[in-house]
Structures are given as structure tokens and as C-alpha cells.
Structure 1
Amino acid sequence: MNASVSTAWLSFMLCVILIGVAGSRLSRYGDVIAHKTGMGGTWVGLILLAAVTSLPELITGVSSVTLADTPDIAVGNILGSCIANLTQIAVLDFLIRGASVYSRVSRGHILSAGFSIILIGIIGFSLLIGANGWSISLGHIGIYSPVIVVLYFVAVRSVFRYEKAQQGNPAEEEDPYPGFLLRKAVVLYVLASLVVVAAGVWLPFVGVNLAHVMGWRQSFVGTLFVSLITTIPEATVTISCWRLGAFDMAISNLLGSNLFDITILAVDDLFFLKGPLLFRASTLHAVSVLSAVMMNGALIIALLCRPQVRLFKTVGWTSLFLFSLYLLNSLVLYLYGK
């Protein structure tokens, strides 16, 4: 391995360490802030933790379309993150013993998955019509961007109203962090955020360098490797929730991150001054769009049917389907990406 390849991989690993460590701190301090301010478990997962753990995607996307000028990495990172988050549900199901994760969580997650299908469908629709020259824009921004932002807030409001109706008037929870001051949590949260921001700005350049020295295509790097790094905070939260037995919070964080990640594309579109972002990206990303749609569909079916059968008593068929789609999507991008 020559010096340039070694440097590229060392940079990659450093990004993994920085985002992984800082992301785990972000999740913990975000949880402290949520409890200290009286936010419920739904908001911890869907809003606060989702926004916190999606910070690398936000910074990476903006820096990809501005500093690095790599729209395919920006789009691929978002779609790849959505697919990786759904695959983490399969990992969570594998870690759980006894009944599957789909039978242990609220059916209310169907709302988040359903809205994700709509938002991801808008991305796929925009990619395809842009490739045929039928773009509709507001200046340099695609018409899809304001639609995505509006639907995001509709989704959040719908999920919140549903959960509130289901919970009724729950008893006041005991503060799990009695000795942790809110001010201290906020300061540590900001410090951890700065580390994630720094690593996120560096990340797209690492992706471009890897694509160059390894001979990989940018759509593959963006969708698999960059998205793998930026979903490390979500993975950290998922493992933490598994250890606590808070499966609903874990699923809510993953699906909430997907909703937030898709909305990040509208922010990336705003900073990409060469025209609508999705109209300049490769149509191969439509493969990731369809993969994400199928994965969300499988998740909805599992949440409705609550399957009990597990292969070798370790993992359900739904989880195997999710993981298989992740591998297939990665293989197609590697073989046919531009």
C-alpha cells in the first residue's frame, strides 16, 4: 500500500473515531437536555436525538456542495444514511433475544415510515424528471425543496399528535440525571457539536480522495462509505437504547433521522448555486431511492403483522430482507456507479 492510499485510509479512520466519540457524547448530552427540559421520550427520539445524530449529514452535505463541489456525494450520503438507518433496525432485531423488535415497539412508527416513503419518493421523482430536462425550479432551488420542508413539519406534527393521543396523561417521570446540571449538559453538548462539525467538513474531501486513490466511483463512496461514517451517531444511540431496553426510542431515533436527513437535501439544495441539486445528481441514486422505499414498506408490514417466527431463533425474515437490500444496493452502486 503506497503512501497516498495509507494517508487516505488513515484520514478515513480518524473521521470514524472523531464522529463516533463525539456522536456518542452528543447523544448522551442531548438525552440529558431532553429530560431536564421536560421533553418526552417521543421527542427525544424523533426530534432531539434525530437532529443531533444527523448533524454529520448536515455538515457533510453543505460542505460537499460548497467546498468540495461533489453533489453526488451529498445526495448519496443522504440516501445511503437512510438505508443504513433502516439496516440498523435489522441489527437491533439480531441483538434482541426472544420476541422480535417489530413485536415490541409501537405501531405508531408506521407514521414515520409512511412519511419517509413519500419524501423519498419525491427525491426519486425529481431525479428522474431532472434527467429528462423537465426541471421546475425557484431560482437555483428545485421546487421539490420547499415541498420536502413542509412535509417534514407535517410528519413531525402528525407523529406528535398520534403519540400524544396514545399516551393520554402519563405520570411524571423521575429525572434519570439528578446530579447533572442543565447548564453543564448544554456546554458539553456544544463542545461535542464542534468536533462533529469539524469532522463533517473534512469528511467529503476524505471521500473524494478515497474515490481517487482506490479507483472508486463517487456515487459509491457517497452512498456507502461516507454515509457509514455519518450514521455512526445513530448506531451509537441504537446500541445504547438496546442496552436500556428502550426499543421505541431506538426506532424513533432511526426513523426520525431519516425524515431529518431527507430534509437536509433541501438545505444542500439552497447552498448548491449551480442549479437544483437533484437535477445535477446521477440518476443511479434512483436505485437507492427504490431500495429505501422497499425497506420502509417491509418495515410497515412487520409493524402491522408483528411476526413471531425467527430464523434459527436469532433474526426475523424482515430483518434478513432489510440487510439483503442493503448489500444489493451497495453492490449495484459499486458496479455501475459513475
Structure 2
Amino acid sequence: MTSLPSPALVAIFVACAGVIWFAGIKLSQTTDVLSQRWHLGAALGGVILLAIATNLPEIAITASAALSHHVDVAVGNILGGIAIQTIVLAALDAAGTRPRKPLTYLAASLTLVLEAGLVVALLVIVVMSTQLPNSLIAWRLTPGAVLIVVVWAIGLYLIRRAGKGLPWQQAGHAPDSQDKPPGHSTATNEKTATQRGVSTGRAVTVFAVAAVATLVAGVLIERSGEEVFGRWGMSGVLFGATVLAAATSLPELSTGLASTRMGDYKLAMSDIFGGNAFLPVLFLLATLLSGDAVLPTAHRTDIYLTALAALLTVVYMAGLIFRPQRQWLRMGLDSIAVSVLYIVGIVGLAFISR
């Protein structure tokens, strides 16, 4: 990559972003089909399969950066990815919902509040882990990375139990939210695939090809982007938290748009929160591959990004509880607040990274 001219690197970066977008759509469609046919929709397996599918670019980038010992890019991409994937919710809100009400009003449920709470809890563990000494590592494992995986697994189990019903009015679903049950679009997509004659074998093949394409594009987009934006004076952490995170969040955007178009607003928000909860798990992957205690080497900018991601998540938690009904610029007040806070936060990040 270092020998290529900047225009060629930009072309590779843009082409890889296009591959990630298209492959993300295929991954989402085939994940719905496989989840239904393998009866994973109501199980933890379906949640994990979807989380892995939509976060394949981040997995590829984390693995590539860890193996090359560019852990600042890996950390910035993970934490910046959580922040920018939360911004995807504002994009979904602005893209339009039917009826004309904010996304959090239509999707409000206690289960989503729990999912957002899990994201915040994991981010708190990330901050705590950054304060541990580098020497606290054994068998390529650190306490913080292991605790993140344990809390993530327990949180998923509790959330799936909550999804089966809570001892609250309407089982935890707010009145006047979406009429159809959460996840109905998954069954609809599988039914459409069946009507088109898509076999399970074909779905597996498309999933595998899209996964490989996403992984390759993820590595290339990290290498080309880091080189060209480094030439333009952008630091690794700022690049990972903004440009790279935006490119790798394209699968979440395409999946969310597909869900909102079908009126499955709760699934759209659940996918974002679920993906954000999965991203800190990649710190274990980065630690295993690099052999270094990744979290204790975090910089001030990394802790700043963690706090920003938690702040944005808390705003949407409040939106799910208070359920604003008015819209400005086709967005609810919570989405506007998240957008403003993200912009201000990234401006602050630029000052810290200097």
C-alpha cells in the first residue's frame, strides 16, 4: 500500500466501502433466512449470528490491526464504531417512519432499554480496564477483556428472557408503539426467499461469499485508509473513530433501513444496540492476536470515545422512556441531541489527538 499513489488508495477505499455495503445487504438477507430455517430467531444463536454478520468489517479490521500491532487503529475503530453506529439511529429516524413519529416513540420497549443498558455497562468495564497495569496478562488474556465477554454473554441471556415477556403492562412494550411483534420482518424476508425458490444451501453459499468479501474489503479498507489519511495528517485514532468507523457501519445502516421500511422499528434499534454490545468483545480478539494487553494501553482519546459512546446511548435510553412525539428536521428530539453531541464530541476529539 505504501508504494501506491494517493488517488489509487482513495479508489481502493471507496471500492471497498461499496463492497461492504452490498455484502452487508446480502448478509442481512441470508441471516434472516438462516435464522428462521435453523430456528435461531428466538435463541441466542440468532442474536450472535446477526451480531457477527453485521460486524464482520470491524472483526476484519481488528484482526488486521492487531496482527500488525497497530492497536490504536483497532481500539479507535471499536470505540468509534459504537459511537457512529449510534448515529445510524438518527439517520434511520431522519430517513422517515410511518406514521410520522420519532423512531424511539414507535420502538419503545423495556427490552430495548435493557439492551442500551448493557452497552453502557460494557463501556464502563472498558474504562475500568484501561486503568489496569500492562503486566496483568496471562495466556494472552487480560481480566478486562475476559470480563467484557462474560458480562456480554450474561446480558444477552437476560435480554432474551426479557424478550419473552416482562411482568409489566403489555409485557414491557409501550402502548401505541409498532403494531406487529418485534422481528416480524425476519419472518417476512424468509417467506419471500422461499417463494423465490432460495434453498438453504444457496443461502449458506451467499452468506459465506458475502462474509469473505466483507472480511477482505475490511482489511483493504483499513490498510488503504490508514495510509492515505495518514499522508493527509490524520492520526490513527481519529481515522479509526471517524472515517473508518463510518465506512464499516454501512451494514448496520442498510440493515436498519430495510427494517424501518417494513415497519420493524424495534428490530432496527435492537440490531444497533446488539451490534454495539458486541463490539467491545473484539478487545478479546485483539488481545489474543497481538499478545498485548490492549485496553491498559488505551490513550486519553480512547477513553474519551468510550464516554462519548456511553453518552449517546444514554440519550436514546431517555428517548425510549420519555418517547418524544414531535419532530424537527424529520427527527425526534433525542436524535437531534445525539447528532449535535456527536459532532461536538468529534471536534473535541480532534483537539485531544493533537
Same fold (TM over 0.5): yes
Instruction: Classify the secondary structure of the residue corresponding to 1:138.
Output: coil
Deviation at 1:287, TM superposition (A): 1.2
Q: What CA distance in whole angstroms lies between the structure 2 residues aligned with 1:206 and 1:283?
A: 25
Q: What displacement does 1:216 show?
A: 0.8
Using a 3 Å threshold, how does the CA distance of structure 1 residues 135 and 207 change in structure 2: closer, same or farther?
farther
Contact 1:42 1:163 in 2 (8 A): no
Which range moves more in the overlay, 20-29 or 196-205? 196-205
Letter aligned with residue 82 of structure 1: I
Distance 1:247 1:310, change over 3 A: same
1:73 and 1:222 in contact (8 A); partners too: yes
Asked if residue 293 in structure 1 is aligned to residue 296 in structure 2, the reply is no
Q: Is the 8 A contact 1:76 1:219 kept in 2?
A: yes
Cα distance per residue 1:18-68 (max 9 Å; x no partner)? 1111111111111111122233378698433222001111111011010x3
Paired position in structure 2 for 1:71? 71
Rounded to whole Å, the distance in 2 between the matches of 1:88 and 1:37 is: 29
Structure 1 residue 186 corresponds to structure 2 residue 204: yes
1:310 Cα deviation from its structure 2 partner: 2.0
Deviation at 1:157, TM superposition (A): 0.3
Q: Is 2:283 aligned against 1:280?
A: no
Moved more, 280-289 or 25-34: 280-289
Q: Is the 8 A contact 1:42 1:252 kept in 2?
A: no
Which amino acid is the alignment partner of residue 320 of structure 1? I
The 2-side partners of 1:9 and 1:42 are apart by 41
Alignment of 1:104-183 (within 5 A): 104-105=106-107, 106-127=109-130, 129-130=131-132, 133=133, 136-166=136-166, 176=191, 177-178=193-194, 179-183=197-201
Residue matched to 1:30: 31
Aligned to 1:321: 337
Q: Spell out, residue by residue over 1:177-200, the C-alpha distance to the aligned partner (whole angstroms, 9 max, x if none).
A: 323211110111111111111112
- Runs of 5+ in structure 1 lacking a partner? none
Deviation at 1:231, TM superposition (A): 0.9
Q: Distance in 2 between matches of 1:212 and 1:305?
A: 43
Q: Distance in 2 between matches of 1:218 and 1:10?
A: 20
Report Cα offsets for 1:279-322 as digits up to 9, x if no partner: 2232211111111111111111111111112225x211110111
Give 3-state SS (helix, strand or coil) of 1:38's partner. Answer: coil
Deviations for 1:65-93, whole angstroms, at most 9, x for unmatched residues? 10x32111101101111111111111112
The one-letter code sitting in structure 2 at the alignment partner of 1:24 is I
In the alignment, structure 1 residue 250 sits paired with structure 2 residue 265: no
Does residue 260 (structure 1) correspond to residue 278 (structure 2)? The answer is yes
In the aligned structure 2, how far is the partner of 1:44 from the partner of 1:266? 20
SS across alignment from 1:99: coil
User: What does residue 326 of structure 2 align with?
Assistant: 309
Distance 2:227 2:219 in 1: 14
Distance 2:45 2:129 in 1: 32
User: Is 81-90 or 203-212 further displaced after alignment?
Assistant: 203-212
Is 2:206 aligned against 1:206?
A: no
Q: Give the aligned partner of residue 178 of structure 2.
A: none
Name the TM-score, length of structure 2 as normaliser. Answer: 0.86
Q: Is this contact kept in 2: 1:93–1:316, CA < 8 A?
A: yes
Letter in 2 for 1:330: I
Counterpart CA distance in 1 for 2:31 and 2:87 is 23
Query: Do 1:62 and 1:268's aligned partners in 2 also have CA atoms closer than 8 Å?
Result: yes
The amino acid across from 1:286 in the alignment is I
The number of residue pairs the alignment matches comes to 328
Please say if residues 241 and 247 of structure 1, whose CA atoms lie closer than 8 Å, have aligned partners that are also in contact: yes
Computed over aligned residues only, the root mean square deviation of the Cα atoms, in angstroms, reads 2.3
> Counterparts of 1:227-246 in structure 2 under 5 Å?
227-246=245-264
Q: Is the 8 A contact 1:100 1:315 kept in 2?
A: yes
